[in-house]
Chains A and B, each alone.
Chain A
Amino acid sequence: MGSSETVTGNTPTPLTLGDRTFRSRLFVGTGKYSDAETMNAALEASGCEVVTVAIRRVDLNSGDNLLSQLDREKYFLLPNTAGCFNAEDAIRVCQLSRELGLGDWVKLEVLGDRKTLLPDPVGTLEACRELVNDGFKVLVYSSDDPVLALRLQDAGATSVMPAGSPIGSGQGILNSNNLAIILEQLEVPVIIDAGVGTASDVTIAMELGAEGVLLNTGIAGAKDPVAMAHAMRHALDAGWFASRAGRIPRRRYAQASSPTEGVLGE
């Protein structure tokens, strides 16, 4: 939490995760775009450096893949284990990702249920431990449970990434109290992952003290993804500065902004 650090300049400071530093605190997914041109324009507008990708069976009938048109030099590709419902499959995907030349950084997801896409806490913790032992840098998708978040930190996660609300739900931050507890307790950077519907959700996450936000559908599913990407970028900056600016306390009653003396007629 940054209330003690000095705020200078007009952009947030870079984000340090493990031994790497990223210029943008907004991580953006590459799924669900209608075409590569829109995806590239939205990523550009978001100002992101880290983009998430998935590992899937190649389509043997078509060589067409939006991602072949992504500028690999420009972005840091963070492979996810989306779609894995047990630790074993998630670990397999991470090893395949390494074989694909994507390195040791992974976004670990072990899902517990197809309808909610909420994480399986037991499988997530098990996979996190094994992957850390195998030398992976694990950014781990978690629920907003403060106890699980602590366990994942203890397991060696590089970042714990609690969901604001279910993946793709657009419900924003549902349990800000739990997230505030997680942010207070954890020493590793916390990134809010999933559930972002619009720009204000990103600001709220950052005002709570998150080190960053990861989102996909909020941009890709918007009517105008490029405009929404632009909004998300500024929303993140707004929240980052606000969290460090020392907000005023909430009061029940009004407090006049103009001088109370010298009012005509008194």
Chain B
Amino acid sequence: MSDQPTRFEIQLNGEVHQVETDTTVFDLVNSLPIDPVAVAVERNKRIVPRSLHAETTLEAGDQIEVVTIVGGG
């Protein structure tokens, strides 16, 4: 299994994003230049509760949405 790729692609907020094998939602959120406390995460249109971020491992092709609160009317 030495030729197994160590990186794969996901969709992050609609754009292609490369992640390492075994990356969790927690790892992903903490790798971004954002305040990790102020976000919520959806994986393939289902919310990943904060309590499960560290144990949810990403898979190739996952559609991840990371959202936050912004100004609005």
Contacts and interface: CB of A to CB of B under 8 A. Distances in A.
Interface of chain A: mostly helix, strand, loop or mixed: mixed
Contacts of A68: 35, 38
A118 to B, nearest CB: 15
A120 to B, nearest CB: 18
A55 B47 contact: no
B34 interface: yes
A54 B71 contact: yes
Nearest to A29: B73
Given A57-B13, A100-B67, A63 B34 contact: yes
A56 B73 contact: no
A63 B35 contact: yes
Interface string B5-32: 0000000111100000000000000001
Given A57-B14, A63-B33, A96 B42 contact: yes
Interface residues of A, number: 39
A59 B39 CA distance: 11
Nearest to B15: A60
A95 B69 contact: no
B71 A58 contact: no
Interface string A71-113: 0000001011010000000001001110110100000000000
A55 B73 contact: no
A256 to B, nearest CB: 47
A80 B67 contact: no
Contact of A55 (B14, B33, B34, B70): B70
Contact of B73 (A61, A63, A100, A216): A216
Contacts of B15: 60
A83 to B, nearest CB: 9
Interface string A7-33: 000000000000000000000011111
A167 interface: yes
A65 interface: yes
Interface of B: 12-15, 32-35, 38-42, 45, 47, 49-50, 65-73
26 contacts: A29-B71, A31-B72, A33-B71, A53-B71, A55-B69, A56-B70, A57-B13, A59-B34, A60-B13, A60-B15, A60-B32, A60-B33, A60-B66, A61-B33, A65-B70, A67-B70, A82-B72, A96-B40, A96-B67, A99-B49, A100-B67, A100-B69, A167-B73, A215-B73, A216-B73, A217-B73
Which 3 pairs of residues, A with B, have the shortest CB-CB distance? A54-B72, A216-B73, A29-B73
Interface of A: 29-33, 39, 52-63, 65-68, 77, 79-80, 82, 92, 95-97, 99-100, 102, 167-168, 215-217, 220
